[in-house]
C-alpha cells in the first residue's frame, strides 16, 4: 500500500519536474497573454565590409578600429547601409535597406551589438522598423528587440530572430532575420 503511494508520488513529481522544465525551455511565445504575431516576415541582410578597394560594392565600413583587447575585434564599430532581400541572393531586388551600426563587444568570443532601422520605401511598404540588441554570434538563433516603427509600422514592437545564413571570411556575411511584430495599428 505505502509502496503504491510512494510510486504515485514519484510519478506525479516526475511529471511536475518535466512540465516545469518544458515550460522554462519554451521560447518567448509561451509568455502569458501573448498572441500570435500580427505581422511576420523573413528578410535577408547582406553585409559587404569595405576592404579598401571595393568601394563600388561595399555596403559597410569600419568606422572605428578594433582595440588590442582580446582577439575578437573588441571595439570595432561598423556602420552599414545594407540591402534587405526576400530570398538569400545578394543580387535580388532589395525590398528595404538596413541602416545603422554594430560593434564587437566581447573579448572572449565574437559578439556584436546592433542598432539599426529597416527603411521600407516601395509600393508594398512605406515606413521604418527600429531594431536593437545583442547578437550573440555563437548561438544558432538570437532574438533582438523591435523597439518601434513609423509609417506602415507605426508604434510597432516585436522580436527579430537572427540566424547566420553564411559567413564568408571577414568581408561578407548574410543574416536571416525572422521579424515577428506583436503590435500592429
Helix (H, G, I), strand (E, B) or coil at 44: strand
Size of the site for ligand NAG (CB under 6 A): 10
In the bound complex, what is the minimum distance in angstroms from residue 138's beta carbon to ligand NAG? 16
Site for ligand NAG in 44-73 (CB under 6 A): 51-54, 56-57, 65, 70-71
Report the candidate in 105, 57, 87 with the shortest Cα–Cα distance to residue 174: 87
Own/partner pairs for 48-54, CB < 8 Å, 24+ apart?
48/82, 48/171, 48/172, 49/78, 49/170, 49/171, 49/172, 51/171
Rounded to whole angstroms, how far apart are CA atoms 102 and 80? 8
Helix (H, G, I), strand (E, B) or coil at 141: strand
Q: Is 168 in the site for ligand NAG (CB under 6 A)?
A: no
Closer to ligand NAG by CB, 117 or 156: give it.
Answer: 117
Closer to ligand NAG by CB, 106 or 146: give it.
Answer: 106
Closer to ligand NAG by CB, 46 or 142: give it.
Answer: 46
Closer to ligand NAG by CB, 130 or 161: give it.
Answer: 130
Dihedral over alpha carbons 144, 147, 153, 154 (to 10 degrees): 170
Pattern 117-136, binding to ligand NAG, x per CB under 6 A?
Answer: ----x---------------
In the bound complex, what is the minimum distance in angstroms from residue 22's beta carbon to ligand NAG? 38
Rounded to whole angstroms, how far apart are CA atoms 146 and 129? 7
DSSP bridge partners of 135: 112
Site for ligand NAG in 84-113 (CB under 6 A): none
The residues binding ligand NAG (CB under 6 A) are 51-54, 56-57, 65, 70-71, 121
Amino acid at each position: 500500500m505505502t509502496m503504491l503511494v510512494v510510486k504515485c508520488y514519484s510519478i506525479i513529481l516526475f511529471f511536475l519536474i518535466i512540465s516545469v522544465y518544458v515550460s522554462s525551455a519554451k521560447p518567448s511565445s509561451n509568455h502569458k497573454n501573448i498572441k500570435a504575431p500580427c505581422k511576420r516576415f523573413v528578410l535577408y541582410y547582406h553585409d559587404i565590409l569595405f576592404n579598401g578597394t571595393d568601394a563600388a560594392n561595399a555596403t559597410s565600413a569600419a568606422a572605428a578600429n578594433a582595440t588590442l583587447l582580446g582577439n575578437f575585434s573588441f571595439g570595432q564599430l561598423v556602420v552599414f547601409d545594407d540591402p534587405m532581400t526576400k530570398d538569400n541572393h545578394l543580387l535580388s531586388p532589395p525590398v528595404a535597406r538596413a541602416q545603422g551600426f554594430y560593434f564587437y563587444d566581447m573579448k572572449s568570443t565574437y559578439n556584436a551589438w546592433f542598432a539599426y532601422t529597416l527603411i521600407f520605401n516601395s509600393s508594398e511598404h512605406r515606413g521604418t522598423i527600429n531594431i536593437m540588441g545583442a547578437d550573440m554570434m555563437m548561438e544558432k538563433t538570437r532574438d533582438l528587440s523591435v523597439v518601434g516603427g513609423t509609417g506602415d509600422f507605426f508604434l510597432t514592437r516585436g522580436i527579430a530572430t537572427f540566424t547566420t545564413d553564411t559567413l564568408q571570411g571577414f568581408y561578407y556575411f548574410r543574416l536571416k532575420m525572422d521579424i515577428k511584430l506583436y503590435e500592429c495599428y
